[in-house]
Amino acid sequence: MKTIENIVLANGKPIFSWCPQIEEGAIKQIEDISKLPFVEHCALMPDAHMGMKDGAPIGSVIASRDVIIPNFIGVDISCGMSSFKTNLNVNDFTDEKKHIIHHAVERSIPTGFSHNTDQRREEIEKIFEAKIDTLLNNCHSQTKIADRKEIASQLGTLGGG
């Protein structure tokens, strides 16, 4: 965890980040949010990246006072995130151990559009045909949704945003 340099909330509190490399667009979004008078706390999770225009970064946590902003709650809420209590503390993690854990997680959890081969995607489309049809047929008409191939290419992964 680190603080984002040169950006503090209107209340003087720092913005915390667990994201190793933050996109400039995400930095700009969190900076704009930090200036809002009702924002009490901001943090960026390890998967943080730029969100929709004029919105919050995906993978951000924003606590506010006396207001609820739906877009701050998220359109990609908890995508691939999980937390659990252990008996470990921050001092148990040397830089070497953090590197080993990070790479183990990257190897174990598939992400993106290219994890499934064309053959695997076709198998997934056949196996989950009815569920994909239900998803496509019941989607709100104004909601942009992926096509059948895109859905099948991401099944079994954290997706591609």
- For the chain, how far is it from start to end, CA to CA, in angstroms? 23
pLDDT of residue 77: 57
Tell me: pLDDT of 44 over 70: yes
The tens digit of pLDDT for each residue in 69-97 reads 877 776 555 566 667 788 888 888 888 88
88-135 pLDDT, tens digit per residue, is: 888 888 888 888 888 887 777 777 666 778 888 888 889 988 888 877
How much is the pTM? 0.53
Domain residue spans of the chain: 2-73, 118-154
Q: State the DSSP string of 62-80.
A: EEESS---HHHH-SSTTTT
Q: Which of 154, 145, 159, 160 is nearest to 116 (CA)?
A: 154
